[in-house]
Amino acid sequence: MRKIKLSTVLFVAAMAIYVFNVLGILGTVVLNSTSKGWFSGVFPTHFTTEWYAYAANDHDIPNLLAVTFTVVLADVLIALLIAFPAAYALARHEFRGKGLLTSLFLLPMIVPPMAYGIPLAMLAYKVHVAARVSGVILVNLVPIVPFMILVLMPFIEQVGSNLESAAKMLGAKRLTIFRRILIPLTIPGILTAGILSLVKAISMFELTYLVAGGKSQTIVVALYADAYAAGARPPQAVDALAVIYFLIAMVCLVIALRFVSPTQMVFKLK
C-alpha cells in the first residue's frame, strides 16, 4: 500500500540520468585506455595495457607521482598549520575588524587564480623557486588555506567553548587543553578539511601550470599538456594517464567518506 511519490520518481530519474552520464564518461575513458582499435560498436574488441606502458615511458610516472604527492601532502599539512589557529581565532573570538579580516582570508577563493597567479609566478621566478617543487607547493597554498579555514570553522564552533573552560577550571594549561581536548574533538573536522583539500589540491591546475617546470609538474599539469598537444601522442595514452589521476583522487575521496558523513562535509557561513 506504499504510494510511490512523484518526488521519488523524479529523484530516481534525475539520479539515473546523472549517474549514466558520469559513469559513461568515466567508463569510456577507462575502456579507451585499456583497449585497441575501438572505433565503433558498443564495446572495444581488443584489450591491452600497452597504453599504460606508453604513458609510463612517455612520462617519468614515478617522478610525476612523487611530485604530486609531495606537493599535495606538503600543501595540506602546511595549510593546516596556518589555517587551524586562524579558524580557531575566528570561531571563538570577537574583535574589531573581524569581518574585514575574515573577508581578507577568504578573498583568494573569490579572486580568479589568473588574477594573482601571473604576478605570483613572476615573483616565484624572482626568488628562484619557480620550476621547482618548493615553488609549486608555495603557490598552491594560496587557494587551499582559505578553503581550509572555511571548512574548519564550523567544526571548531561545534566543539563548545565551555569544554575548554571546564578544562581550565580543572587546572589544565593552554597547551594541554589544545592537545588533549581541542584537537581530539576536532579530528573529524581536521580530517574533512584535510582530505577535501587533498582532493582539491590534486585538481589545481592554473597555479602549478604557471610555475612548474619539467621535473616539477604534477599529474594534472602533465595531463593537460598531453591533452592540449593533441596529435602529438595517441589519445589512449592520455586517457591512461587520466585514469591514473582519477584513481588517486578516488582513493582519497573514498577515504574521506569513510570518516565523514555527507552532511558534515560542508561549510556553513553566516
Partner 1 sequence: MKGASRRGLGFLLAPAIVFVILLFVYPFAYGLFLSLTKEDGSFTLSNYLNFFASARDFRTIWVTLQISVPVTFINVALAVPFAYYMRRGLKGEKIITFFLIIPITLGTVLVSEGMLTFMGPKGWLNQLLLFLHIVKEPFRFTHNYLGVVISLGLQGFPYAFLMLLGYVSGINPDLEKASQMLGANKLQTFWKVLFPLMVPGIAIAFSLNFVMAFSVFPSAVLLGEPSGPTRVISIAAYQWAFEKFNFNAASAISMIMAAIELLVISLILVWRARMYKGASIVGKG
Stretch 146-175 residues interacting with partner 1 (CB under 8 A): 149, 174
Asked if 182 is part of the footprint of partner 1 (rule: CB under 8 A), the reply reads no
Closest CA to 64 of 8, 159, 136, 171: 136
Stretch that binds partner 1, among 59-67, 69-77, 134-142, 165-173 (CB under 8 A): 134-142
CA atoms of 109 and 107, how far apart (whole Å): 5
51, 52, 105, 155: which one binds partner 1 (CB under 8 A): 105
User: Contacts with partner 1: how many residues (CB under 8 A)?
Assistant: 89
Phi and psi dihedrals of 4, rounded to 5? -95, 120
Stretch that binds partner 1, among 54-62, 138-146, 156-164, 182-190 (CB under 8 A): 138-146
Q: Smallest distance, Å, CB 78 to partner 1?
A: 9
Handedness of CA 44, 48, 49, 51 (dihedral sign): negative
117, 135, 189, 194: which one binds partner 1 (CB under 8 A): 117
Asked if 32 is part of the footprint of partner 1 (rule: CB under 8 A), the reply reads yes
H helix and E strand count, the chain = 12, 2
Asked if 228 is part of the footprint of partner 1 (rule: CB under 8 A), the reply reads yes
Asked if 264 is part of the footprint of partner 1 (rule: CB under 8 A), the reply reads yes
Cell numbers describing residue 151: 571548512
Q: Smallest distance, Å, CB 237 to partner 1?
A: 11
Asked if 189 is part of the footprint of partner 1 (rule: CB under 8 A), the reply reads no
- Spell out the residues 6+ positions from residue 242 whose beta carbon is closer than 8 angstroms to its own: 29, 33, 223
Asked if 249 is part of the footprint of partner 1 (rule: CB under 8 A), the reply reads yes
CA atoms of 88 and 184, how far apart (whole Å): 14
53, 66, 77, 81: which one binds partner 1 (CB under 8 A): 81
Three-class SS state of 46: strand
